[in-house]
């Protein structure tokens, strides 16, 4: 079992995508993204990506396929498959137990539509072993400024997300909301490795520069 979070370094893309952009849906050259993805598969093995839509569909992966599943979480119980979740401010959440692993895309919508809970339910159907969580780089509660309407909508279901920016405008702390959800779901081992994507220039951030690439959270059994 292994977990790795990529950053911007070590790839072939230029400009806003420099350099290890793994997103093939963000305007970067497809052949360069393919080169970057080869860097990942050379180091971490055959890697399954997904077409992320801020929904709560979970895809169970039994083999790596070019027919990219539309989902916001991937689960596998098979070793030799690496799962990837791509992000540029949303939270890359990795879940792992003795017999299965998952890569989950948790943004504001994913928090509200409970993609994490659905993923854990499916993992528990595969194996009743204890699940641990690892949280990678994402936008922090000071940087994620939102409108009052969006703030109210998220706080209604996730009060621990309440935050303010440094200029005292409404903001969301998605990480606090996710950690509260994980604890409610009975996940007690939480390794929080987050760094703010907006504040660290070696990470892609859509908030910092709208033309940008995607880094990934990777996990394999």
Q: Which is nearer to Zn ion, 131 or 198 (CB)?
A: 198
Q: Smallest distance, Å, CB 48 to Zn ion? A: 30
Q: What secondary structure, in 3-state letters, does the chain show?
A: CEEEECCCCCCCCCHHHCCCCCCCCCCCCHHHHHHHHHHHHHHHCCEECCECCCCCCEEECCCCCCCCCECCEEEECCCCCEEEEEECCCEEEEEECCCCEEEEEECHHHHHCCHHHHHHHHHHHHCCCCCEEEECCECCCCCCECCHHHHHHHHHHCHHHEEECCCCCEEECHHHHHHHHHHHCCCCEEEECCCECCCCCCCCCCCCCCCCCCEEEEEEC
Q: Which is nearer to Zn ion, 40 or 198 (CB)?
A: 198
Q: Which is nearer to Zn ion, 59 or 140 (CB)?
A: 140
Q: Smallest distance, Å, CB 62 to Zn ion? A: 38
Q: Which of these, 126, 75, 76, 130, lies nearest to 98 by C-alpha position?
A: 130
Q: Smallest distance, Å, CB 213 to Zn ion? A: 19
Q: Smallest distance, Å, CB 144 to Zn ion? A: 8
Point out which residues bind Zn ion (CB under 5 A): 140, 142-143, 196, 198-199
Q: Smallest distance, Å, CB 7 to Zn ion? A: 16
Q: Smallest distance, Å, CB 219 to Zn ion? A: 24
Q: Which is nearer to Zn ion, 101 or 196 (CB)?
A: 196
Q: Which is nearer to Zn ion, 86 or 198 (CB)?
A: 198
Q: Which is nearer to Zn ion, 71 or 143 (CB)?
A: 143
Angle at which helices 115-126 and 174-184 cross, to 10°: 40
**Burial of 202 from C-beta contacts in 10 A (0-12 / 13-18 / 19+):** exposed
């Amino acid at each position: 079992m292994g977990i790795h979070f990529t950053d911007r370094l070590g790839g072939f893309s230029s400009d806003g995508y420099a350099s290890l952009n793994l997103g093939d849906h963000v305007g970067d050259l497809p052949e360069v993204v393919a080169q970057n993805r080869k860097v990942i598969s050379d180091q971490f093995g055959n890697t399954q990506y997904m077409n992320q839509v801020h929904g709560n569909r979970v895809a169970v992966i039994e083999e790596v396929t070019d027919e990219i599943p539309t989902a916001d979480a991937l689960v596998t119980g098979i070793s030799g498959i690496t799962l990837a979740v791509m992000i540029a401010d949303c939270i890359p959440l990795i879940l792992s137990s003795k017999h299965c692993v998952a890569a989950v895309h948790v943004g504001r919508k994913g928090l509200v539509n409970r993609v994490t809970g659905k993923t854990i339910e499916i993992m528990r159907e595969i194996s009743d072993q204890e699940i641990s969580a690892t949280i990678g780089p994402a936008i922090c509660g000071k940087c994620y400024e939102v409108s009052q309407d969006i703030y109210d909508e998220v706080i209604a279901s996730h009060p621990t997300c309440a935050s303010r920016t440094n200029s005292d405008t409404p903001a969301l702390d998605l990480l606090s909301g996710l950690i509260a959800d994980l604890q409610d779901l009975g996940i007690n081992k939480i390794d929080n490795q987050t760094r703010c994507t907006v504040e660290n220039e070696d990470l892609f951030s859509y908030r910092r520069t709208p033309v940008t690439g995607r880094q990934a959270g990777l996990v394999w059994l």
